[in-house]
Chain A
């Protein structure tokens, strides 16, 4: 049975000539999963929102046909849409922390669609009998342990995985025939991601239709029957998931497939479009004899005041040598970013010591640290937030340039831009007129400006599309090769860390569980959590 039929859907923001969604057509059958894949801004989420009548103000939507579960929705009023939302189509969003009301218990959140749609179907007002039982059953279905107690929890009391499960339970509550999942696992670590995907797979097996939106082909190939690749508002390629990943025909699909970090062929000759490959990613051989650039010894940190304390780091020790990349992997909340801030001297450790080039760093006053700050630089996750909104590219990079005199500064800024693959035209551009990848390149240029010995990269690619991720990782590896800069590379992605690091440290709850050469850790992880993490890390090949 055809659940959704979309024909020539076009969506335009008022005042823009170019449509944001341009002539998109697809169908979803009951028990089938269609995945919409593409980079951010491709129009995936807008297409999905059109299935809810939630495209927002100032948009113009047109379609030759738009049928959902047998209803022609093109002439729907807001009231009719309300009857459809939840009951026929359920939505699972990316970030449960934002999507769940922080002031409501999750049990009430899940019960809401049940109440609304029971009322709508003309049943008695007030609480229909058995709602509590239904909520508990839903929580059990999505694998929340101890559902009787958990339904009384607020979102902030739950882990990321449990929150996402609660969100899925609320989407399932009114028993919709179609579930739209918009990047449902992007905010989760690999172990939880695996569980959520299994859960969505169960929903599909139960005969529900599934529209999955993702920029991650790895996730998609696990769940989707068919894949539609979107670019610039249009579908450029459609096909069965397995065929599309193994033999992409459209050039854009091919870049997406190539960009899967685990799938990039090791032999450069076998690579279709000549990008730099993973074998070349770790180019620099670290000098094990050199004095470590960074030495962290027994560092601990506790947040909060007496009574409600949270220990962010326990007795963490590590070293980074010249020309070496140490990858730090862990889920959100594992203490990675706290470690980065302590290493940078932005946050004092409660115990332990940080040395830079063998000399005291964390224990000296900021006044003395300032003259040595050039040695250690930072690349943020989100470059947009890391740039003064009023600054041009020249201003941004120029802030880190130590040369004096107009010409010398200008020459150095241009040289830095060239190093990160940007030409002089960018000097006067402003960051909000650039793509995410270009912005991250500017951030890297700024960090390189004072000629640092160590770069601390805090999730530098996780906000980028996969195709861009690969380019930035290549750039960082090349720069390391050219300049011999050491890197402390923080990420939640195993495939990213595997590509870029000489050594890996796995963090959980403020502890370093395991540390060693990348190949050794990946081949034979010793700690149970590390084994679990690696087992759950998704291989995109179906």
Chain B
């Protein structure tokens, strides 16, 4: 009287440990941003000409650079600058995109047409090029590159918000609110914005990673915060000419950028998959 089992049970969706690892990296990054002194072993800006070009070791985990500064401590303090630029840029992109997208969704055919054709044109350029364009107008520096990167990201967010908002506005629950006599400004705030925010936040978590890379790219070109501020992109720029003699000056900041970006992407992708379930 034994029953035959003839469809194998599939393993539950993979990816949970990967998601956890990504979250752990981001949590660590957040701690480093908030309390760099807990992690740094040296003053990031202190020069020591007796100890230049020290290879990685017990005293200097990531070695020292051409001015004898501790690379590890500079990576730690650089997190604050780099990640703040990235998060600020993402916030600008999300808010700007939200505003433009909603305007497009409720503005009627003409407003929608004009805004979305502009977005189409801007989406045709890579974000780095757009950001460079903005920097060319407003100049370099930490705040300006955050603004530049954020502005460059607006079109992509605007497109997503407009699509989502369009669906939510036509949904039956918004219709129900309209039938109850709820004003447009109220149902936009009560129903549309919160229900659009979910997918946008997911997109932003992936966009945060891109923003780090773009910020590093701009700094690499010398458009970032001025010397001697520790910033990952700027450190890459300084180290790239010394790769033959002291590889550690560029490689450790570069690996850090890669690690954080991968963590952002993993978390973002997982959130995306989860939100689709």
Contacts and interface: CB of A to CB of B under 8 A. Distances in A.
A527 interface: no
B12 A373 contact: no
A75 B176 contact: no
A368 B181 CA distance: 10
Contact of A60 (B5, B171, B176, B190): B5
Looking at A55, A61, A399, the one whose CB has the most chain B CB atoms below 10 A away is: A399
Bin the interface of chain B by size.
20 to 34
A202 B270 CA distance: 52
Contact of A15 (B4, B12, B179): B12
A8 B182 CA distance: 54
A267 to B, nearest CB: 39
A75 B181 contact: no
B181 to A, nearest CB: 3
Contacts of B171: 385
Contacts of A388: 173, 190-191, 195
A399 B6 contact: no
A10 B180 contact: no
Contacts of B180: 373-374, 377, 399-400, 446, 449-450
Interface in B228-265: none
B5 A61 contact: yes
A177 interface: no
Contact of A344 (B1, B179, B191): B179
Interface in A18-72: 55, 57-64
A386 interface: yes
Contacts of A61: 5-7
B4 A62 contact: yes
Contact of B177 (A371, A382, A390, A399): A399
Given A377-B180, A386-B172, A14 B5 contact: no
Contacts of B113: none
A74 interface: yes
A387 interface: yes
A385 B191 CA distance: 13
Interface in A381-412: 382, 385-390, 399-400
B9 A60 contact: yes
Interface string A276-317: 000000000000000000000000000000000000000000
Interface residues of A, number: 39
B4 A75 contact: yes
Looking at B7, B178, B190, B194, the one whose CB has the most chain A CB atoms below 10 A away is: B7
A58 B195 contact: no
A141 to B, nearest CB: 35
A390 B183 CA distance: 19
B16 interface: no
3 closest cross-chain pairs (CB), A and B: A373-B181, A62-B3, A386-B172
Given A373-B181, A388-B191, A390-B195, A446 B4 contact: no
A206 interface: no
Given A64-B3, A386-B172, A399 B182 contact: yes
A241 interface: no
A382 B1 CA distance: 45
A387 B173 contact: yes
B10 interface: yes
Nearest to B171: A385
A371 B182 contact: no
Interface string B150-189: 0000000000000000000001110111111111000000
Contact of B7 (A60, A380, A390): A60
A378 B9 contact: no
A346 B178 contact: yes
Looking at A8, A60, A75, A371, the one whose CB has the most chain B CB atoms below 10 A away is: A60
Contacts of A15: 12
23 contacts: A8-B3, A10-B3, A58-B12, A59-B9, A61-B7, A62-B3, A63-B3, A64-B4, A74-B6, A75-B6, A76-B6, A346-B179, A373-B181, A374-B181, A377-B179, A378-B175, A378-B176, A380-B172, A386-B175, A389-B173, A389-B195, A390-B195, A399-B177
Nearest to B173: A388
Contact of B6 (A62, A373, A374, A387): A62
B1 to A, nearest CB: 7
A121 interface: no
Interface in A77-100: none
Interface string B1-38: 10111110110100000000000000000000000000
Given A10-B3, A57-B10, A377-B179, 9 more contacts: A58-B9, A63-B3, A74-B4, A75-B6, A344-B179, A380-B172, A380-B175, A385-B173, A446-B180
Nearest to B8: A60
A385 B195 CA distance: 13
A449 B190 CA distance: 18
A125 interface: no
Contacts of A75: 4, 6
Contacts of A433: none
A373 B179 contact: yes
B7 A55 contact: yes
Looking at B6, B173, B179, B181, the one whose CB has the most chain A CB atoms below 10 A away is: B179
A385 B176 CA distance: 10
Contacts of A14: 9-10, 12
A55 B191 CA distance: 37
